[in-house]
Structures are given as structure tokens and as C-alpha cells.
């Protein structure tokens, strides 16, 4: 049940980012579900490798480089999911921050 709540929270976070961030667009709920699913898969498989490779830079920035990695993953997802568009790095960074904030809040509540 916790996994479903967190997944739906990520879907909601993607929709919130699309609503509040100019340059971050999602065509509908179904697209947000696909984006959340792909983001979850990339966070499980690719993100730990990227965090390990960028560990010195992440330590130097006290963990803030993780937001850059999230933004790059979101920007990467926008290249192959139709109906999801990110118009640059800055909208991806702000959208990634919103997604991370909503995920953190849900993690604390559940």
C-alpha cells in the first residue's frame, strides 16, 4: 500500500510541476503515470550508479549535486516519452525540486 501511495504521490508531483513550472509540460494524467513509472525505474537502476560516479562532486556540494542528477534524469525522460516536454535544464531542475519535495513529504507522512 505504501508503494502505491508513493507512486501516486509522484504522479501528483509531476502534475504539480507541470502546473507551476513554465517550460515543464505534461499532456495528461496517463502521461504523468508513464513519466512517474519511468522515473521510478531510472531512480532504481541508473541513479545509484550516477551518484557513485559523482560522489566527489556530491560531497563537495554537500549533496546539492543530487538535484542536478534528478534534473538530468527528468530532462532525459522528456526526450522519449511523448506528451512530456521539458524546455531546458532550469525547468527540469525546478520540476525535479518539486518532485523531490512532494516525495519527501509523502515519505515522512507514510
Q: What are the average pLDDT values for consecutive 10-residue runs of the chain, which has 110 residues?
A: 90 94 93 94 93 94 93 94 93 94 90
Give 30-33's long-range contacts (Cβ < 8 A, gap of 24+): 30/83, 31/81, 31/82, 31/83, 31/84, 32/84
How far apart, in Å, are the Cα atoms of 98 and each of 1, 9, 108?
23, 11, 15
Identify the pLDDT of residue 19. 94
Q: What is the pLDDT, as a whole number, of residue 1?
A: 84
Specify the pLDDT at position 3.
87
Q: How far apart are alpha carbons 110 and 4 in whole angstroms?
A: 11
The C-alpha atoms of residue 81 and residue 102 are separated, in whole angstroms, by: 22
What pLDDT was estimated at residue 2? 85
Amino acid at each position: 500500500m505504501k508503494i502505491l501511495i508513493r507512486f501516486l504521490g509522484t504522479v501528483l508531483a509531476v502534475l504539480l510541476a507541470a502546473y507551476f513550472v513554465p517550460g515543464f509540460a505534461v499532456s495528461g494524467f496517463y502521461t504523468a503515470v508513464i513519466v512517474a513509472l519511468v522515473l521510478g525505474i531510472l531512480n532504481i537502476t541508473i541513479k545509484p550508479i550516477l551518484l557513485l560516479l559523482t560522489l566527489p562532486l556530491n560531497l563537495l556540494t554537500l549533496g546539492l549535486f543530487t538535484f542536478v542528477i534528478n534534473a538530468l534524469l527528468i530532462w532525459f525522460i522528456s526526450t522519449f516519452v511523448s506528451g512530456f516536454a521539458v524546455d531546458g535544464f532550469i525547468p527540469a531542475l525546478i520540476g525535479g525540486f518539486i518532485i523531490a519535495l512532494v516525495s519527501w513529504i509523502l515519505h515522512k507522512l507514510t
